[in-house]
Amino acid sequence: MDSDGDGIGDLGGITARLDYLSWLGIGVIWLCPIFRSPNDDNGYDISDYQDIMAEFGTMADFDRLLAEAHRRGMRVILDLVLNHTSDEHPWFIESRSSRDDPRRDWYIWRNGRRGREPNNWASIFEGSAWTLDPATGQYYLHLFSARQPDLDWENPALRRAMYDMVRWWLDKGIDGFRIDAISHLKKAPGLPDLPNPHRLRYVPSYPMHMNRPGVLDFVDELSRETFRHYDIMTVGEANGVSPDEAVEWVGAARRRLSMILQFEHWTLWSRDPHAELDVVAVKRIFTRWQRALHGRGWNALYLENHDLPRVLSRWGDPRHHRFASATALATMYFLMEGTPFIYQGQELGMANTVFHSLAEFDDVFARNRIAQMRAEGRDDDHILAELALTARDNSRTPMPWSDGDNAGFSPATPWLPVNPEYREVNVARQRGAADSVLHFYRRLIALRAAEPALIHGRYALLLERNRQIYAYTRTLDGRGFLILCNLTRREAHYRHHRLPLRHDALVLANHEVPAHPAITRCVLRPFEARVYRID
Ligand code: TEU
């Protein structure tokens, strides 16, 4: 929400909408980076960790937001970007100033090899992971954009500076952090070349910097020096960590992090944007995480975030079944064990946006991909079609508050075009309609909050091999809930002889369910979801 009319959402705008979040039932607000930044990667390139991005407001605006959130019983967590800074951060400006600058080894500088980069690693955002700095004749490492140089976490002075900054925010009274790219802090010793059987120019470099041995030592020290001394929540963005390893990251015994964001279900749908949803695989992935952490740690549950296209466009059917598919997906993940996250607009059932030209993309990753695909000779229509499915900008469009100008987001033209479906899909309209996706989310949140079995109960998967239905129970001392979700656009036949379902025990449903006797089977309509109480 834009509060000062410049077309960019800001802290004052969020404060103005706290009553909405409170009405919805939100407990914690995670803010993507709000720090001073030249904004090469939507604020994930920070030039001052202890100041606010000018477009978003001032530190006084932040203090007010925090106080107002607390007054309503909500918490605020910030995004902690530890792996890299902006190239405009004073540390990097000093570091690049000469080879013997005291901050030189706060970043990762290497000599080139035979006039090329120090190794063959690709950046996660396309191209080489190295950029030559002509002034000193060396290359610096950047796993993300060239304007996001990687910090050298092997350097104890750098780590201490980070801990000071973290404690400064925690002393201010924030309620925790989502920690960006935390599994990338440790790089393979010696930064060796990757095998290159396909003779690529640059090789996808994850094996050399994602979840490497030793990364937990960094997490451990970080937690010991900072988090553990505060009553806060921490969520690590931990690509590459498996369910079996997760207990080392979030297990109660280790006291490192509260939760991690895992990537396995994301990978399932980013790998091939055209493939149909593999319901059995989704169940397998979530179930492994549920089992691995029950009684030992805690899950972070999510379907969407600012790095993903809208889940509805991928797994749902916004054209024919917007309400049913949005609510079935919501029911599916929301009642598992863990803390459910909702990405802005997901609670309205927003779908991907419509891009008319390549010039509309703002995201640095999209811009790099466009350049890369053009260099490979693809035509613009082809590139547009691919980005329409995969681009991160799909989910970053302004929040649609109403059907007014610019979706009620701002009086000015917004920084990213509003999703054209805002006239139908917006907060004002859905708040006024009891049968909306928004009201369904609100009921789901209230249900979960009121039922200990949905928070602490044991998860058990039913119908493991069924290719349409995700069915699971959550039980505490033998009582609890059965969650049934048909994740396809076809009717699905549910049957389970040991669990009779009573109509008067139906607590939530996204289709009208006529009164029925105790049943052990039923037909679920397209994207039908039901939650029954069981005992
Ligand atoms: O994303 C980091 C991130 O997604 C990687 O950890 C991940 O391994 C990879 O992208 C998978 O393809 C975070 C932010 O969420 C993102 O918005 C930023 O662009 C990125 O860090 C750089 O800070």
With helix as H, strand as E and coil as C, how does 190-224 read?
CCCCCCCCCCCCCEECHHHHCCCCCHHHHHHHHHH
Question: Distance (Å, rounded) from C-alpha 47 to C-alpha 33?
Answer: 11
- Mean pLDDT, rounded, for 474-480: 95
Q: With 0-12 CB in 10 A as exposed, 13-18 as middle and 19+ as buried, what is 481? A: buried
**What residues have CB less than 8 Å from 185, skipping those under 6 apart?**
82, 83, 153, 215, 218, 219
Question: Distance (Å, rounded) from C-alpha 61 to C-alpha 168?
Answer: 17
Ligand 1 in contact with 307 (CB < 6 A)?
yes
pLDDT at res. 56: 98
- Nearest in space to 398 (alpha carbons), one of 425, 365, 372: 425
Asked whether residue 276 carries a pLDDT value surpassing 90, the answer given is: no
Ligand 1 in contact with 239 (CB < 6 A)?
yes
Interval between CA 252 and ligand 1 midpoint (Å):
26
- Nearest Cα residue to atom 3 of ligand 1: 181
- Nearest Cα residue to atom 16 of ligand 1: 307
Cβ proximity of 211 and 127 under 8 Å: no
Ligand 1 in contact with 30 (CB < 6 A)?
no
Interval between CA 307 and ligand 1 midpoint (Å):
7
For the ranges 27-31, 106-110, 386-390, 399-403, the lowest mean pLDDT is seen at 386-390
Ligand 1 in contact with 264 (CB < 6 A)?
no
Residue type, 211: N
Pick the catalytic residue: 61, 87, 152, 180?
180
Question: Distance (Å, rounded) from C-alpha 84 to C-alpha 69?
Answer: 29
The per-type count for the chain, helices as H runs and strands as E runs, is: 18, 21
**Confidence category of residue 267, pLDDT binned at 50, 70, 90:** confident
| Torsion angle (degrees, nearest 10) of CA 467, 469, 474, 479 | -120
- Nearest Cα residue to atom 5 of ligand 1: 181
Pick the atom of ligand 1 nearest to 305's CA.
15
Interval between CA 184 and ligand 1 midpoint (Å):
10
**Confidence category of residue 269, pLDDT binned at 50, 70, 90:** confident
pLDDT at res. 313: 94
pLDDT tens figures, 133-154: 999 999 999 999 999 999 999 9
Neighbour count for residue 90 (Cβ, 10 Å): 12
Interval between CA 531 and ligand 1 midpoint (Å):
35
CA 422 to chain CA centroid, nearest Å: 23
Question: Distance (Å, rounded) from C-alpha 335 to C-alpha 406?
Answer: 34
Question: Distance (Å, rounded) from C-alpha 196 to C-alpha 385?
Answer: 29
Cβ proximity of 86 and 71 under 8 Å: no
pLDDT tens figures, 417-458: 999 999 999 999 999 999 999 999 999 999 999 999 999 999
Interval between CA 501 and ligand 1 midpoint (Å):
43
**Confidence category of residue 373, pLDDT binned at 50, 70, 90:** very high
Interval between CA 395 and ligand 1 midpoint (Å):
15
For a mutational test of ligand 1's pocket, the pick from 85, 180, 209, 390, i.e. the residue with the most ligand atoms closer than 8 A to its C-beta, is 180
Ligand 1 in contact with 81 (CB < 6 A)?
yes
pLDDT at res. 305: 97
Q: pTM for the full model?
A: 0.97
pLDDT tens figures, 158-179: 999 999 999 999 999 999 999 9
Neighbour count for residue 383 (Cβ, 10 Å): 20
Pick the atom of ligand 1 nearest to 392's CA.
17
- Nearest Cα residue to atom 7 of ligand 1: 239
- Nearest Cα residue to atom 9 of ligand 1: 124
Backbone torsions φ then ψ of 517, nearest 5 degrees: -70, 175
Ligand 1 in contact with 45 (CB < 6 A)?
no
Strands 75-81 and 28-31: parallel
Is residue 237 part of the annotated active site? The answer reads yes
ipTM: 0.94
Ligand 1 in contact with 180 (CB < 6 A)?
yes
Rounded to the nearest 10 degrees, the angle between the axes of helix 243-250 and helix 215-225 is: 30
Q: Are 1-81 and 458-534 the same fold in CATH?
A: no
Ligand 1 in contact with 41 (CB < 6 A)?
yes
Pick the catalytic residue: 41, 61, 126, 237?
237
Rounded to the nearest 10 degrees, the angle between the axes of helix 364-375 and helix 380-390 is: 150
For residue 72 the two structure tokens come to 């309503």
Which alpha helices (H) appear in 35-184, and where do they start and end?
59-71, 90-97, 156-172
Interval between CA 472 and ligand 1 midpoint (Å):
31
pLDDT tens figures, 201-218: 999 999 999 999 999 999
For a mutational test of ligand 1's pocket, the pick from 183, 239, 262, i.e. the residue with the most ligand atoms closer than 8 A to its C-beta, is 239
Is residue 152 part of the annotated active site? The answer reads no
pLDDT at res. 270: 67
Residue with token string 């935390």? 182
pLDDT at res. 275: 81
pLDDT tens figures, 429-438: 999 999 999 9
Superfamily of domain 90-141: Oligo-1,6-glucosidase; Domain 2 (3.90.400.10)
User: What three-state secondary structure class fits 315?
Assistant: helix
pLDDT at res. 328: 98
pLDDT at res. 485: 98
Pick the CATH number of 1-81 from 3.40.50.1110, 3.40.470.10, 3.50.50.60, 3.30.750.90: 3.30.750.90
For a mutational test of ligand 1's pocket, the pick from 237, 302, 304, i.e. the residue with the most ligand atoms closer than 8 A to its C-beta, is 237
On average, the pLDDT of the chain sits at 97
Pick the CATH number of 458-534 from 3.40.50.2300, 2.60.40.1180, 3.30.565.10, 3.50.50.60: 2.60.40.1180
**Confidence category of residue 266, pLDDT binned at 50, 70, 90:** confident
Asked whether residue 272 carries a pLDDT value surpassing 80, the answer given is: no
pLDDT tens figures, 32-76: 999 999 999 999 999 999 999 999 999 999 999 999 999 999 999
What are the residue ranges spanned by the domains of the chain? 1-81, 90-141, 156-179+205-294, 458-534
- Nearest in space to 110 (alpha carbons), one of 127, 85, 91, 129: 129
Interval between CA 68 and ligand 1 midpoint (Å):
30
pLDDT tens figures, 482-532: 999 999 999 999 999 889 999 999 999 999 999 999 999 999 999 999 999
pLDDT at res. 404: 98
